[in-house]
Amino acid sequence: MTAHIPAQTGSGKQVPAQPAKGVALLDKLIAGGATVGVIGLGYVGLPLAVTAAVRGANVIGFEVDPKKIELLDAGTTYIEAVSRDALDGVAGKTFSWTMDFRQLASCDVIVICVPTPLSAHREPDLSYVENTARDISRYMTDGTLVVLESTTFPGTTDDVMTPILEEGGLKAGEDFFVAFSPEREDPGNKSFHTATIPKIVAGDGPMAGQLAQVFYEGVVDKVVPVSSTRTAEAVKVTENIFRAVNIALVNELKVIYDAMGIDVWEVIDGAATKPFGFMPFYPGPGLGGHCIPIDPFYLTWKAREYELTTRFIELAGEINVNMPKYVIGRMRDVIDTVHGKGLRGSRVLIVGIAYKKNVSDMRESPSMRIMELLHEVGVEVDFLDPLVPVVPKMRAYPQFLNKASIAAADVAKGGYDAIMIATDHDDVDYAALTELGVPLIDTRNAFARRGLSMEHVTKA
């Protein structure tokens, strides 16, 4: 790969000369001497930082949470995707971390990996991006590449982030360069990791695009350039809308087929044998995670600017948001049938409160909404989760903060009227649950998939 873009094309037509500061950074990236700053050492930032460090980059991680800094100082990894061995291999060598944002001045590339949640009114909350951009504008130096990885609506990089970055007096496209490359982390996925997931990249202009491409080629196996930051932002939103809409479809089918006495999981497994034209999605008690419950509504919000509606997205959201109420309704019916009473005053155990199996990630977990709804109607609720010993601090559900998981050995002593499987972690003794003789409400098809007795199981 050549470091410089020629000022003249083969046809003899003149093209604008490339900014000298961009060419200098490009040479540095190709030579392998750039310092990379990663802001936000969570589920996206820490795996990216460690992967870049493993591949030889000098990486500084920036984090505002002192607890994460303390854990890293102790050599402890708090993200499943980052192994202790990988962290030990780079810590203090090619990877360091700090809460001092003044060190951004020494970074040639700055990657933003901060949350983009929804507000209480389901509107985009870009405060983390905006505040981070302000910190960068104070300290970054000439010739820096700034990359946003946080999922957002098309136009955020150009219309929101770049103007804030320019508040420091430097000009985008001349003094510094801006790009967007959406994160594609999938917690718990053993088949893919940061380095092996293809990376969408786009820059604000040819120089920024080439800088971003060269940077990520040093971090991941495959880079996929697209034409603009808005296109890259739309790619990520589209990926998550696709999943949200299809999950909503099978959730709606579950409700319909339940009423017909048809097992939706058997239907989906049967349909999945078709070798073309069908992709299996599976129902559940609602949507969780850092992307799918949130990101589609970023496009919904942005579409209003163009006087357009997003009917599929909004309908999918309505279906998925109502699934916790549906599975609670199924539990209410079971308790009434078996015990001859309503929910109020009942004792219930929720198995699995992480949003996804085999991870400890609690972001937007539907289990928390289920627990909240049960608590509101007077149900005594416990939970069992081998990966979540206590409920961590979350943006919502303060009433459950620090509530502890019961021990597996104490389930039989709990006197529960019903047990709901909300997240089907592998490290749960489902056979022991079937032997309790307690009604089991299975929202994940956990018992049938393991070939266990279905005598006390109600699929929901």
The pLDDT of residue 10: 45
Q: What angle do CA 221, 225, 228 make, to 5 degrees?
A: 150
Query: Do residues 30 and 149 touch, judged by C-beta distance below 8 A?
Result: no
pLDDT of residue 2: 39
Within 13 Å and on the Cβ side, how many CA atoms surround 145? 35
pLDDT value at 1 more than 70:
no
CATH number for region 20-227? 3.40.50.720
State the catalytic residue, choosing from 25, 291, 292, 370. 291
Kindly state the DSSP code that residue 356 receives in the 8-state scheme.
S
Pairing type for strands 176-180 and 199-203 reads antiparallel
Beta strand residue intervals within 354-449, DSSP E: 380-384, 418-421, 440-442
Reported as a single tens digit per residue, the pLDDT across 114-134 is: 999 988 777 899 999 999 999
Distances in Å between the alpha carbon of 82 and those of 47, 48, 119, 160? 6, 9, 30, 31
Give the model confidence (pLDDT) of 193-208 as tens digits: 999 999 999 999 999 9
Q: Which pLDDT belongs to residue 389? A: 96
The reply to whether 20-227 and 283-459 are identical in fold is yes
pLDDT of residue 11: 45
Q: Is 291 a catalytic residue?
A: yes
Question: If 0-12 CB within 10 Å is exposed, 13-18 middle and 19+ buried, where does residue 277 land?
Answer: exposed
| Per-residue pLDDT tens over the stretch 226-245 | 999 999 999 999 999 999 99
Q: Which residues are CB-neighbours of 95 under 8 A, at least 6 positions away? A: 49, 50, 53, 59, 61, 87
Residues composing the chain: 460
Buried b (16+ CB within 10 A) or exposed e, 325-337: ebbbebbbebbee
- Does the predicted model carry a pTM greater than 0.85? yes
Query: Could you tell me the residue ranges of all domains in the chain?
Result: 20-227, 283-459
Residue 384, burial from CB neighbour count under 10 angstroms (0-12, 13-18, 19+): buried
What proportion of the chain, given as a percentage, has pLDDT over 90? Answer: 90
Residue 14 has pLDDT above 60, yes or no: no
- When the candidates are 3.40.30.10, 3.30.1490.100, 3.30.499.10, 3.40.50.720, the CATH number that belongs to 283-459 is 3.40.50.720
Distance of CA 344 to the CA centre of its chain: 35
Which residues lie closer than 8 Å to 133 by C-beta, 6 or more apart? 112, 160, 161, 164, 165
Residue-by-residue DSSP string for 285-324:
SS--SSSTTTHHHHHHHHHGGGT---HHHHHHHHHHHTHH
Residue 59 and residue 109: Cα distance in Å, rounded?
A: 9
Cα gap 161→445, rounded to integer Å: 44
